[in-house]
Amino acid sequence: MKKLYSLLLVLALAIVLAACGGSDDSDSGEESSNSNGDDSASSEGMIPDTLVMGFVPSQDSDTIANTVEPLADRLGEELGIEVQGEVMTNYNALVEAMGANQVHIGFIPAFGYVLANEQYDVEVILKSIRYGSGTYKAQYVVHTDSGIESLEDLEGKIWAYADQGSTSGYLFPANQLMEEFDYDTATELESDFFSATVQSGGHDNAAIAVLEGDADVATTFDDVRTELEEEYPTVMEDLTIIDYTDEIPNDTISVTKDLDAEFVQKIKDTFLSFNDDPEMIEIMNEVYNWDEIDEATDEEYQVVKDTYQKFKDNIEL
């Protein structure tokens, strides 16, 4: 009888140990499975149901919206996904939209790219080519009969620019004037050197402000006057360029950090293929005066990063 009890006790102990061992193995396997699942998910980027391209208003917003529609349609055909274009209110709105993944591809100027890269790790993949160059200059535009002939003559005048997020409209001209006339901050430049400033919301609007006498000088991309000739036939004679800034890297096509890497490569290849399609290049030219699309790297925009660092705390975006 004692042997029977001993045998039953040993058997019961074996069953308990087996159950505990099975539970440990199951827990271990579940943890392993969850860990592998998380790693797999983190290594794969996002492919949205609708790919959103964001644009900033270098000219009338409605004009850009109508012009980019065939671009979105064609890109969607090539990628096999719905694509839509959104014209943002300004550069900062585009940066914030990309940071929130509300916009996935940004047609964003150099300064806007620097902000987006610094704040949200947005990546530049392509850049525009205009007149065979990957860089351009900003210009200072005054009314021809204003008597303003040099940068020195701008003191005490009214300055019009698109907005403070514009590379050619604000950042590079502000930096040049600060260095030229020994101002430490952009705030001092605006309040002490100029009598007033006008944020117009677009390069064309800044030039129009000078045409209509609401400002004395506009800082714009080179050459904004060609955008106004249809509405203002005598603009080339009415507005005069008195100076230029240093070279600025051209605007970018940039993408959010969460997009799938293979999908980004497909986007990049598709845009580059447009170089061989005159119809698509014509559309790009109508939107932002692009003649060609080229590959780009973050290093090319270091000059803009360095310029921005000089007065990043003194401008309101």
Using a pLDDT cut of 90, give the percent of the chain over it: 62
Residue 75 structure tokens? 């890109």
Q: How many Å is the Cα radius of gyration of the chain?
A: 29
Low-confidence winner among 16-20, 179-183, 297-301 (lowest mean pLDDT):
16-20
**Rounded to whole angstroms, how far apart are CA atoms 4 and 87?**
86
User: Above 70 in pLDDT, residue 60?
Assistant: no
pLDDT at site 166: 81
pLDDT digits (tens, 9 = 90+) for 96-122: 999 999 999 999 888 889 999 999 999
pLDDT at site 11: 44
Low-confidence winner among 56-70, 144-158, 239-253, 293-307 (lowest mean pLDDT):
56-70
Where does 101-216 show beta strands of DSSP type E? 105-108, 123-129, 135-136, 138-143, 158-161, 196-199
pLDDT at site 97: 96
Who's near 256: CB < 8 A, 6+ residues apart? 98, 99, 101, 103, 104, 120, 122, 123
Q: Output 232 or 16, whichever has higher pLDDT.
A: 232
Mean pLDDT of the chain: 84
Q: How confident is the model at residue 80 (pLDDT cuts 50, 70, 90)?
A: very high
**Rounded to whole angstroms, how far apart are CA atoms 156 and 199?**
17
pLDDT at site 189: 93
pLDDT at site 311: 66
pLDDT digits (tens, 9 = 90+) for 10-45: 444 444 444 444 444 333 333 333 333 333 233 478
Q: How confident is the model at residue 59 (pLDDT cuts 50, 70, 90)?
A: low
| Mean pLDDT score, 193-198 | 96
Residue 143 structure tokens? 């009314």
| Mean pLDDT score, 124-143 | 95
pLDDT at site 265: 97
pLDDT at site 276: 94
Cβ contact 139:219 at 8 Å: yes
Helix axes 110-120, 91-99, angle to 10 degrees: 30
pLDDT at site 57: 67
pLDDT digits (tens, 9 = 90+) for 148-162: 999 999 999 999 998
pLDDT digits (tens, 9 = 90+) for 235-270: 999 999 999 999 999 989 999 999 999 999 999 999
Low-confidence winner among 42-56, 77-91, 179-193, 219-233 (lowest mean pLDDT):
42-56
